[in-house]
Amino acid sequence: MSDSSVVFMMGKFEAVLPSDRSYADNHHWLKQEGPVYRVGFTSYAVRLLQDVYFLDWSIDPDTAVRKKQEVGEIETSKAVASLYAPLDGRIVAFNPALMNDPSLINTDNYDGGWLYEIETAAPMMTVDDYVAHLNATWDATQRTLKGQYNEAE
C-alpha cells in the first residue's frame, strides 16, 4: 500500500483509502498490475461487511463480465450477499489464498486479501471521486445501518 492515503470517517471509524489505486462505486479498489487490475474491497466495505467467513465464485476465470453482474457470494457475520463486478471487463484469475482463508479480506484487504484480477478499459474513480461518492451516500448508509440494528434488537 502506498504511503499516501485519504481517510473517510464512518462515524468514529476510519476508512483508509490508498491513493495509489482507482475505485468503483460498489466499494471496490482496483490497482493496476501489468495488463490487469487487482480488485479488492475498500476498508469502507470491509467495515460494513464485518467478519468474512465464506467466499464462493459463480463464474470461472477467463469470463467476460458486465458491471453489476453477479460473480459470487460472500458470507459474513452480518449476512450472506451476492458479489457483483465493479466494471465491464474480463475476470482472468481469482485469489487462490482466499479459498483457504477468506479472513484475509478483513486482515489484509489492500494486499493479500484481493479478490480477483480483471482486464478492463472501463473508466474508474480517483480516490477523491470515491470520497465524494461516500460523502454523497453516507446519510443513506447510516439510515440503513440503523434500521438493521433496530431490527436485530
CA–CA gap between residue 109 and residue 113 (Å, rounded): 4
CB-based burial, 67-91: b 16+ in 10 Å, e otherwise: eeeebbebbbeeeeeebbbbbebeb
Domains and CATH numbers, the chain: 5-141 (2.40.50.100)
Higher per-residue pLDDT: 148 or 98: 98
Strand partners, 76: 52
Cβ-Cβ contacts under 8 Å for 78 (sequence gap 6 or more): 48, 49, 50, 148
For 20-66, what is each residue's pLDDT tens digit? 999 999 999 999 999 999 999 999 999 989 999 999 999 999 999 99
pTM over 0.85: yes
* Contact by Cβ (8 Å): 17, 42: yes
